[in-house]
Amino acid sequence: MSESASPVKFRPEEIPAELGGLRMTKQRKEVYCLLMDQRDHPTAQDVFIRAKERMPNISLATVYNCLEALVNHELVRQVNFDRAPSRYCPNLEEHVHFQDLETGAIHDVVFKKGININDFLELPEGVEVRELELTLKGIMPSSTKKN
Amino acid sequence: MSESASPVKFRPEEIPAELGGLRMTKQRKEVYCLLMDQRDHPTAQDVFIRAKERMPNISLATVYNCLEALVNHELVRQVNFDRAPSRYCPNLEEHVHFQDLETGAIHDVVFKKGININDFLELPEGVEVRELELTLKGIMPSSTKKN
DNA sequence: GTGAATGCAAAACCTTTGCAACTGG
DNA sequence: CCAGTTGCAAAGGTTTTGCATTCAC
């Protein structure tokens, strides 16, 4: 699981003008850096509020547009829990999400090494799985919460 | 996988006045029967349109209220794919959902017998999982589609 | 008769869109 | 100069809510 509390590592100035085929504008860099720095799975609103600190004129629509562009170019993942506002996650490694019902915090969880989807699901012969989204909710022991 | 095309088996008249602690009104019976009869994971809109055939005065808000009540009393499951409208499913056995990207149809998929969540996920010691939602998207071979 | 459920309309909420102004190459 | 992006406001789609009316015990 991860919820890395790192000092600011990513600065907009350091982001190249293009990333994964996407032209990185000032706003896209800002949004992307926010996600990379504070990997706490913020909503678009959360990103908007944080982005305004450094770019007071940024609009919520632009934040949505930036997030959509980043998601489409697979620089960021969109995470949905039920019908709650989407959250965004820059962790591109295969993982699923666990939400702590006590704190609301979302943690990344990885699959066991070497596990295959057919090892745990009864899928019919020949089905081709293109996307998988797994979300969990539950209680983290407080000893683990700090991680 | 299931997509049972059954003749009408459930009729509102046959539903008891109370189910799982929920008082079954005329509308709730209707909604519940629709779900039980046509197990195709309809949206609230779908249910509304179907329900109106037999209850022309039913309102969309009532359909939402009924579905919410049924979900809260665990008579029906709410299924979310991304941010698409919620779908509803009366299959209470543990299962996950697979959406065929070609037809849009949703199929129920079960876990391998005896499989435990810790067999495929790297969960930290002591975590208590309360809810699990797994959705898949992909392509079904046409030979399997008819099931 | 009384508490709960319905139906209607309006509101709430998240997200997308239209469009004029701006940006950056 | 021009395609693409922004910011703003308005619209969109899904779901919820307020409230008067109706229903069922």
Biggest CA-to-CA distance, chain A = 54
The token duo for B58 is: 């039913």
pLDDT at position B6 is: 55
pLDDT at B2 over 70: no
Average pLDDT over residues B125-144: 92
pLDDT at position A96 is: 98
Q: Are A139 and A100 in contact (CB under 8 A)?
A: yes
Residues at the strand D interface (Cβ < 7 Å): A 22-23, 25-28, 55, 57-59, 61-62, 65-66, 69, 83; B 17, 25-26, 43-45, 60-61, 64-65, 68, 85-86
Q: How crowded is residue B59: how many other Cβ atoms within 10 Å of its Cβ?
A: 13
For B137, the enclosing helix (H) or strand (E) is strand B128-139
> HSE of A130 in the Cβ direction (CA atoms, 13 Å)?
8
pLDDT at position B142 is: 78
pLDDT, tens digit, 9 for 90 and up, residues B44-70: 999 999 999 999 999 999 999 999 999
Dihedral class, residue B82 (left if φ above 0, else alpha if ψ from -120 to 50, else beta)? left
Q: Out of A108-112, B8-12, B96-100, B105-109, pick the least confident.
A: B8-12
Contacts of B13 (CB under 8 A, 6+ apart): none
Q: Are A37 and A6 in contact (CB under 8 A)?
A: yes
Q: Which of A81, A82, A122 to probe the B interface (max B CBs under 10 A)? A: A122
Q: Is A124 on the interface with B (CB under 8 A)?
A: yes
A20 Cβ contacts chain C strand, under 7 Å: no
Per-residue pLDDT in tens (0 to 9) along chain A, 147 residues: 655 455 667 888 889 999 999 999 999 999 999 999 999 999 999 999 999 999 999 999 999 999 999 999 999 999 999 999 999 999 999 999 999 999 999 999 999 999 999 999 999 999 999 999 999 999 999 766 555
pLDDT at B145 over 90: no
pTM score, whole prediction: 0.91
Contacts of B67 (CB under 8 A, 6+ apart): B31, B44, B47, B76, B78, B88
pLDDT at position B1 is: 62
pLDDT at position B5 is: 52
pLDDT, tens digit, 9 for 90 and up, residues B5-22: 556 678 888 899 999 999
